Amino acid sequence: MDKRTFIKTGLIGVAAFYASGFTAKGLNPLYSLKPRKNKDGFIQPPLPYAFDALEPYIDTETMKIHYSKLHAAYTMKFNDITRQLGISSKPAREILSEVSKYTELLRNNGGGYLNHLLFWNVLSPNGGGMPEGKLHDAIIGSFGSFDNFKSQFDTAARSVFGSGWAWLIFSEGKLKITATQDQDNPIMDISKDKGFPILCLDVWEHAYYLKYQNRRTDYINAFWNIVNWDFASKRYDLALRRKMA
Ligand SMILES: [Fe+2]
């Protein structure tokens, strides 16, 4: 192999490695929901696109407030509380998996921190359409058709009373749709449906009120245009790998 071919092959290999969800330090922490930390604690990673990138489905002002004010506040409070409790060295996922041991304040802010971390990556300006490959087959296998899946997810999202989230999770070897109140999530030990989150939708009014006011259904319909199926597929691959482990 000459030098040029060697470099080219190497670059293709690196690109494929990153595209598979890995970084030089291992699996991209966003896919595994293992956010990196710095000296101040859990970090709020940068939004993976511009504030206006999800227009016209989610408006710029909502994204600015949602990310810069609300998610930032959950991150700061989660760090404060975990420091006070002396558990800041634990992974966020581990803390939430035993959240019944802690206060409601930690439950709300820890959930708010991790749920939004996932949510930003579930969305993409290049999203929409349908998943491919294993996730597509699993959705058809679990729900009969993609339309049935969407319809059940929509119902879960519409049915949340007040504030909460709709979820597609991997639970006991199959895909399942569920919903949680406030900032609870299916990782938490207090959740009625526990599982590995693949997809989520924030149905707090702060996620849509500026553009959609009380029309939550319009917001849910818009969501399908910006779902990052590539990200969801990588989460599903992770779920399968964990099951095998
Ligand atoms: Fe939110």
Give distance in angstroms: CA of 3 to centre of ligand 1. Answer: 50
Q: What is the pLDDT of residue 145?
A: 97
The angle at the Cα of 166, spanning 160 to 167, to the nearest 5 degrees, equals 150
Give distance in angstroms: CA of 204 to centre of ligand 1. Answer: 6
- Give the number of other Cβ atoms within 10 Å of residue 66's Cβ: 23
Give distance in angstroms: CA of 163 to centre of ligand 1. Answer: 9
Helix (H, G, I), strand (E, B) or coil at 43: coil
Q: Is the pLDDT of residue 130 over 90?
A: yes
In 8-72, DSSP assigns E strands to 22-23, 26-27, 37-38, 41-42
Question: What crossing angle do the helices spanning 133-143 and 146-159 adopt, rounded to 10°?
Answer: 70
Alpha-carbon distance of 190 to 97, in angstroms, equals 8
Give distance in angstroms: CA of 181 to centre of ligand 1. Answer: 12
pLDDT in tens, 70-99: 999 999 999 999 999 999 999 999 999 999
Domain boundaries, the chain: 59-245
Residue ranges near ligand 1 (ion) with Cβ within 5 Å: 202, 204, 207
Give distance in angstroms: CA of 70 to centre of ligand 1. Answer: 7
CATH class of 59-245: alpha beta
pLDDT in tens, 39-68: 778 999 999 999 999 999 999 999 999 999
Helix (H, G, I), strand (E, B) or coil at 26: strand
96: β partners: none
Give distance in angstroms: CA of 6 to centre of ligand 1. Answer: 46
pLDDT bracket for residue 129 (50, 70, 90): very high
Alpha-carbon distance of 199 to 149, in angstroms, equals 12
In degrees rounded to 5, what are phi and psi of residue 42?
Answer: -70, 135
Give distance in angstroms: CA of 162 to centre of ligand 1. Answer: 13
